[in-house]
Amino acid sequence: MKGKLHDYHLVNPSPWPLLFSITIIVTALGAVGTIRNFYMGKLLLLVGLTSVSITLYKWWKDVITEAIRDKCHTEIVKKGLRLAMAAFILSESMFFFVFFWSFFKAWLFPVYTFDNFIPGDLITWPPRNITPLDPWSLPFLNTIILLLSGCTLTWSHYSLINKDIGSVLKMLGATIVLGIIFSIFQAIEYTHTDFAFHETGEKAIYASNFYMITGFHGAHVIIGTIFLIICWFRARKNQLSPEDHIGFECAVWYWHFVDVIWLLLFVFLYWISS
């Protein structure tokens, strides 16, 4: 900040935004290739995920350096970061809104597909040959896990404000473990479905909506878990304080957003519509 006449952070040129965009495209292509069993789809997905992880690590490392060593995060900058995180969560809400719109359209106003049209036949939801997952088995258990993780994360945030670093590490660690358990159970849940990623006819409508919404939510849980792991290491190095923990605060917002999306998923996708 030496020599500056203002409190704003003029960011130095960085390669990470462009590299992150490229790695996201590679990951998306790899995911499509894996689902459709294309040649080298899995390898492309692995390369994409690895590249995304390395890019985010380097990017976040630069941001932390700017905050701790360079003292670039003034109060005005922190307000901007909070606003940016709020805008990001709002954009993610619109992202999920699109998929929920698709799901509600298919559920409340189901239509025939050409390959199974029978005049005079009734339209049903869930479609024929689809056995929905029992909402009170793994989905309900995952709901309890996420709600509990929200409680432990709030406890950790409260402990930080009260300068109890021991409780911060314990409760934040518990939240991370619960997030990992949720992701494992989500993967196990996919092995219990009787519909695949690439179905045809009416099954395709149900399967596409199910895997799209739950899959993207699962990806957000993984990202949130990584976010919290970084906060845990920062807390262990005493880089978080009651007055200065904007990164942790944004992680808390993001995790609660993930909780809310899952509650909507459980109520409408798993429970009522089935």
Give the percent of the chain with pLDDT over 70: 92
Residue 267 has pLDDT above 90, yes or no: yes
Do the Cβ atoms of 21 and 56 come closer than 8 Å?
no
pLDDT reported for residue 17:
93
Residue 111 has pLDDT above 80, yes or no: no
Q: How far is CA 186 from CA 63, 144, 145, 152, 180, in A?
A: 32, 13, 11, 20, 10
Residue 264 has pLDDT above 70, yes or no: yes
Q: Give the chain's radius of gyration (CA, Å).
A: 22
**How does pLDDT run across 88-101, given as a tens digit for each residue?**
999 999 999 999 99
pLDDT reported for residue 1:
46
- In whole numbers, what is the pLDDT of the chain averaged over residues? 88
Mean pLDDT of 106-130: 67
pLDDT reported for residue 197:
74
Do the Cβ atoms of 216 and 103 come closer than 8 Å?
no
- DSSP string spanning 131-185? ----TTTHHHHHHHHHHHHHHHHHHHHHHHHTT-HHHHHHHHHHHHHHHHHHHHH
Give the percent of the chain with pLDDT over 90: 59
**How does pLDDT run across 2-28, given as a tens digit for each residue?**
556 667 777 788 999 999 999 999 999
Higher pLDDT: 211 or 121? It is: 211
Higher pLDDT: 130 or 254? It is: 254
Residue 86 has pLDDT above 50, yes or no: yes
Segment among 102-106, 155-159, 163-167, 226-230 with least mean pLDDT: 102-106
Lookup: tokens for 96: 């999920």
The domains located in the chain, with CATH, are 1-72 (1.10.287.70), 74-272 (1.20.120.80)
| pLDDT classification of 204: cutoffs 50, 70, 90 | confident
